[in-house]
């Protein structure tokens, strides 16, 4: 039908004419949408207004075209060809809103019909966690993997393989709780490799700890084992010497690998040994294991150990000063309550418990009492710290009652007393014979995260638990070390007072 048809023809209302109006209206609406899109996507200026596109620049349309007749369809007023932009706009808007409403309603229907599928599809993009705790835990751990404070893989290597690293295949199933497939399944982003050797028996070291033992040699052997295993699997492990290294390793999809010495008895009573351990990559020292040593008192394993120094010895105070200067974390697991309280007060840097749980939940000396937990935090008479919860059933619950839920109870108690920013994970895997139900090895961390998610922990709180709290504390200790060095703090050369081989000579003896 020719576009030059007169308005009087249209006013007859023939069916042919009505079809034309409908068809042309559809075309016009499409043009209007294009115009609206242009309007939204370009800066407002008269030339870019959608209605101007309709009025002026479509070659098939002019002011007398039926496409531009007034909304009431009455062409007898002779004005229908002169479309006023202000009249076209409401109509265009109505059409656009109609279409948008249709799209919205359709989307809503799809959402309601396929709720779960749609949710799964979009949740990762929106940062929303699924309702299923296991799925949520895996999603959280993908972004915030576990940095475990204490794993005894080097000690297992000593006990089972006589430290022969070539005899170990971490890519297949290992006898303990740790191997590469299970580390990956458990979403582990890093851990402290404990370079532990046991306490000498009291007769061996003597009452003043000055008899020679092989503990420094044995510790060097464990550092050797840890470093060789880390080197053996360069696609999996990355030796990490600081908080930044941990972040870089995790970003590269590697497992950040740190070294921790588990006991002052491994220092040979010497601050120089501490410095050399640091030079080899050690980043925490536990002040004691289950025995007292020249620096500090232990809590022992069972109740009733008699105090020796009543906390820290004078050399123990200097040890903490030196650790602060070097940036070696002060680890208070295994220490007596007096040692822990004095160390919290004395240390300039934040401290850690690399593998300890809550005494109020299960009353054993190795767990941290509330009166110590209350000293953790920010503010007066408090110190930043992270207590990394131990999974050893003996520390978790009465025999036969250690479960993932019971471990979660320890996490929640520490969080309740010290704050959620001060709790972490220090499983003690490969250092414990038994494990809790549901936390049998390093592949099971997601079960703990899922349990806490069920209890209402947010993704941010859980990311703190899995690693961010430890990172903050580590960064704090690094900052203190930097400040002390910048202030010109010198290395300490205090000699253990009971040591007979390094007497200070008097002038007349020279
Ligand atoms: Zn331990």
Q: Which residues contact 73 (CB under 8 A, 6 or more apart)?
A: 21
Give the H or E element holding residue 386.
strand 385-389
Q: Give the pairing of strands 329-331 and 282-286.
A: parallel
Where are any strands of DSSP class E within 401-468?
423-425
For residue 208, report the distance from its CA to the centre of ligand 1, in Å: 23
Is 292 an active-site residue?
Answer: no
Q: For residue 284, report the phi and psi dihedrals to the nearest 5 degrees.
A: -145, 155
Interatomic CA distance for residues 444 and 253, integer angstroms: 19
pLDDT recorded at residue 507: 66
Class of 133-486 in CATH: alpha beta
Task: Name the residue among 284, 289, 408, 415 with its Cα closest to residue 352.
Answer: 284
pLDDT of residue 29: 40
- The pLDDT score that the predictor gives to residue 13 is 34
Secondary structure tally for the chain: helices H, strands E: 20, 9
Residues (pLDDT < 50) of the chain are: 1-86
235 C-alpha to center of ligand 1: Å? 29
> Residue 312's closest CA among 504, 494, 501, 502?
494
Within 8 A by CB and 6+ apart from 302, the residues are 365
| Residue 39 is a catalytic residue | no
Indicate the domain borders of the chain. 7-113, 133-486
From ligand 1's centre to the CA of 334, what distance in Å? 7
Given 148, 179, 245, 262, which residue is catalytic? 262
Residue 152 annotated in active site: yes
Ramachandran sector of residue 508 (left: φ over 0; alpha: ψ -120 to 50; beta: rest): alpha
Active site residue 309: no
Q: Please name the helix (run of DSSP H) or strand (run of DSSP E) that holds residue 287, with its range, or none.
A: none
Tens-digit pLDDT profile for residues 225-281: 999 999 999 999 999 999 999 999 999 999 999 999 999 999 999 999 999 999 999
Catalytic-residue membership of 132: no
Q: Catalytic pick from 152, 245, 322, 384? A: 152
The alpha carbons of the chain give a radius of gyration, in whole angstroms, of 36
The pLDDT of residue 397:
98
Asked whether the beta carbons of 296 and 312 are under 8 A apart, the reply is yes
Length of the chain equals 510
Quick check: helix, strand or coil at residue 229? Answer: helix
Question: What's residue 32's pLDDT?
Answer: 38
Distance from C-alpha of 260 to C-alpha of 258, rounded to nearest angstrom: 7
310 assigned to active site: no
Which residue among 409, 428, 430, 478 is the active-site one?
428
Q: Does residue 444 contact residue 473 with C-beta atoms inside 8 Å?
A: no
Any catalytic annotation for residue 321? no
């Amino acid at each position: 039908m020719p576009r030059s048809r007169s308005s009087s023809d249209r006013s007859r209302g023939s069916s042919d004419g009505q079809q034309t109006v409908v068809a042309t209206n559809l075309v016009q609406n499409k043009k209007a949408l294009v115009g609206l899109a242009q309007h939204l996507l370009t800066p407002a200026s008269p030339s870019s207004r959608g209605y101007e596109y309709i009025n002026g620049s479509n070659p098939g349309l002019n002011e007398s075209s039926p496409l531009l007749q007034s909304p009431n369809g009455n062409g007898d007023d002779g004005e229908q060809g002169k479309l006023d932009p202000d009249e076209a706009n409401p109509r265009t808007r109505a059409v656009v809103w109609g279409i948008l409403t249709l799209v919205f309603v359709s989307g809503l229907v799809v959402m309601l019909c396929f709720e779960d599928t749609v949710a799964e599809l979009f949740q990762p993009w929106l940062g929303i966690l699924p309702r299923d705790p296991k799925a949520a835990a895996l999603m959280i751990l993908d972004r915030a993997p576990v940095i475990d404070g204490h794993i005894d893989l080097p000690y297992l290597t000593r006990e089972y393989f006589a430290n022969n690293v070539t005899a170990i295949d971490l890519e297949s199933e290992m006898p303990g709780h740790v191997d590469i497939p299970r580390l990956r399944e458990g979403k582990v982003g890093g851990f402290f490799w404990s370079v532990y050797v046991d306490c000498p028996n009291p007769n061996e070291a003597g009452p003043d700890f000055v008899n020679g033992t092989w503990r420094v040699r044995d510790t060097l052997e464990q550092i050797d084992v840890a470093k060789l295993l880390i080197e053996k699997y360069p696609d999996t492990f990355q030796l990490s010497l600081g908080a930044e290294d941990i972040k870089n390793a995790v970003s590269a999809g590697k497992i950040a690998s740190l070294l921790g010495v588990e006991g002052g008895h491994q220092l040979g009573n010497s601050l120089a040994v501490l410095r050399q351990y640091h030079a080899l990559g050690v980043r925490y020292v536990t002040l004691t294991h289950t025995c007292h040593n020249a620096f500090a008192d232990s809590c022992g394993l069972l109740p009733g150990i008699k105090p020796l120094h009543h906390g820290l010895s004078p050399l123990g105070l200097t040890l903490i000063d030196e650790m602060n200067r070097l940036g070696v974390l002060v680890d208070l697991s295994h220490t007596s309550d007096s040692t822990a309280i004095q160390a919290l007060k004395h240390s300039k840097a934040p401290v850690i418990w690399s593998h300890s749980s809550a005494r109020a939940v299960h009353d054993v000396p190795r767990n941290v009492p509330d009166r110590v937990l209350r000293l953790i935090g920010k503010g007066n008479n408090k110190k930043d710290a992270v207590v990394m919860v131990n999974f050893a059933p003996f520390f978790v619950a009465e025999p036969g009652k250690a479960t993932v839920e019971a471990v979660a109870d320890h996490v929640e108690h520490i969080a309740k007393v010290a704050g959620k920013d001060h709790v972490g994970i220090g499983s003690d895997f490969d250092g414990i014979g038994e494990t809790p139900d549901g936390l049998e090895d390093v592949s099971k961390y997601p079960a703990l995260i899922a349990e806490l998610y069920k209890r209402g922990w947010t993704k941010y709180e859980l990311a703190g638990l899995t690693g961010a709290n430890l990172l903050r504390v580590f960064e704090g200790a690094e900052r203190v070390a930097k400040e002390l060095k910048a202030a010109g703090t010198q290395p300490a050369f205090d000699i253990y007072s009971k040591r007979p081989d390094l007497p200070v000579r008097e002038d007349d003896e020279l």
